[in-house]
Amino acid sequence: EMQEIIIAGDTRALEQVFINIISNAIETLKNEGGVISIKTTINRMKPEMAVITISDTGHGIPEDLRPHLFEPFVSSKPKGTGLGLAITKRIIEAHNGNIHVDTFTTGTIFTITFPLLN
C-alpha cells in the first residue's frame, strides 16, 4: 500500500535540492549511460522522518573531493561553480533535514531525511 509522504517546506527551495542532485547524476552518466533511481520511504527507526534516496550507477565521486563535497567552490566539472551541493545542504538543513552521501566506483547514493508534516 502506498502511503502519502508530505514534508513541510518551501517548494521552490526543495525543488532546487532535487534539481541539483539529479542534474549532477545526469552529468555523471552523460557519456557512459546508466541508471538514476529515486526512492522515498519512512524511516523505520524514526517514523516521523521521510527518507529520500537518489542513486546513480556512475563512476562515483573522486576521492579527493569527498571530504569537501558540501563546501562552496568544490567541483569536478570544468565549468562548475561548486555551489550546487553547498546550497543543497543549506536548504536541507533549513528544513530541519539531513543529507548524507555514500560513493563507490560503481555509483553514488545521496540519502536525504526530512521531518514529516504532522
Contact 73, 81 (CB under 8 A): yes
3-24 pLDDT per residue, tens: 788 998 999 999 999 999 999 9
Question: What's the whole-number mean pLDDT along residues 39-61?
Answer: 94
* Residue for grid cell 546508466: 34
pTM: predicted TM-score of the whole model, two decimal places: 0.90
Asked if 53 contacts 18 with a C-beta cutoff of 8 angstroms, the reply is: no
Distance of CA 75 to the CA centre of its chain: 15
